[in-house]
Chain A
């Protein structure tokens, strides 16, 4: 499975994401390609990653300029055809600004840039990036953002449609106000589109794929392994 990682000016998690799909998971049949924001074609890839960072310096609003970059027409076409798209942190903001995901990400309630390990519980409808993760499983990843407060005008509908995919929780898996690092409505850390193929989340799975890197462990691998299993069409359970 070939993952394309879109690189905007100001992306800074592009190489981390590329490293995971091209090296860390290589023996599982994963490869990667970097896609330049000025390109008009995504080339021959099976999935797309919109990485974290500060695309275009977060000018106007986080993700607002990147959402109109030349490559985005091809990204939208790929998403409309059912291609798996994962937006991480700034990538989540880009997907919301581009209309591929609903809602918006605004300034953290604390007004601070929050950088720490958090836990999220995996739930909602199956998506390529979560279908192999047992529902209710809680995983540890890090966050690093100032505009991660998710807001949506009709959260009840989103919940009913099973489109809340990640929710901030305690280390024990309980969804509590204290576990919410940024004021997101209903502790929402990640959502998907109506079809389920486009997923966005504020935490960084690509930073939690190797035990060597910090205390986050390897929980982030589950998202990429889930996508690999989805592509291969093999029933799988990851992180069990």
Chain B
């Protein structure tokens, strides 16, 4: 089974990288951009076929290492096969 993990800064935590990208997009003429938040994308390949169990394990991985839950949120997507 494959899984995708999206790690994003919590709402409230300032994202200077996102701000810099937002300003530059504005300068390039993309005036509709109101806010940009930058995060991380992690692909995992697991030796596991049960989705519920995979999610449970990945949640634990995120809490222990992949995300810093003090400042980041995470979202998990599993892909069968």
Count A-side interface residues using an 8 Å CB cutoff.
Answer: 19
Main secondary structure of the interface of A (DSSP, over half): loop
Interface residue? B3 (CB, 8 A): no
- Interface contact B71-A151, CB-CB below 8 Å: yes
- Interface contact B70-A153, CB-CB below 8 Å: yes
With a cutoff of 8 Å between Cβ atoms, the chain B residues found around residue A116 in the complex are none
With a cutoff of 8 Å between Cβ atoms, the chain A residues found around residue B66 in the complex are 60
Q: How large is the interface on B (under 10, 10 to 19, 20 to 34, 35 or more residues)?
A: 10 to 19
Taking each of B14, B66, B68, which has the highest tally of chain A beta carbons within 10 Å of its own beta carbon?
Answer: B68
With a cutoff of 8 Å between Cβ atoms, the chain A residues found around residue B9 in the complex are 106
With a cutoff of 8 Å between Cβ atoms, the chain A residues found around residue B70 in the complex are 96, 102-104, 151, 153
Expressed in whole angstroms, the Cα–Cα distance for A104 and B64 within the complex equals 15
With a cutoff of 8 Å between Cβ atoms, the chain B residues found around residue A40 in the complex are none
The 6 closest A-B pairs by CB, nearest first: A104-B70, A104-B71, A111-B16, A109-B16, A107-B16, A104-B68
Q: Which of B14, B17, B68 contacts A61 (CB 8 A)?
A: B68
With a cutoff of 8 Å between Cβ atoms, the chain B residues found around residue A64 in the complex are 65, 68
Interface residue? B20 (CB, 8 A): yes
Expressed in whole angstroms, the Cα–Cα distance for A16 and B71 within the complex equals 31
Expressed in whole angstroms, the Cα–Cα distance for A195 and B27 within the complex equals 50
- Interface contact A151-B13, CB-CB below 8 Å: yes
Besides A64-B68, A68-B64, 13 other A-B contacts (C-beta < 8 A): A60-B66, A64-B65, A96-B70, A97-B68, A106-B13, A107-B17, A109-B16, A110-B16, A111-B17, A151-B70, A151-B71, A183-B14, A183-B16
Expressed in whole angstroms, the Cα–Cα distance for A106 and B71 within the complex equals 9
Expressed in whole angstroms, the Cα–Cα distance for A109 and B9 within the complex equals 14
Expressed in whole angstroms, the Cα–Cα distance for A60 and B39 within the complex equals 11
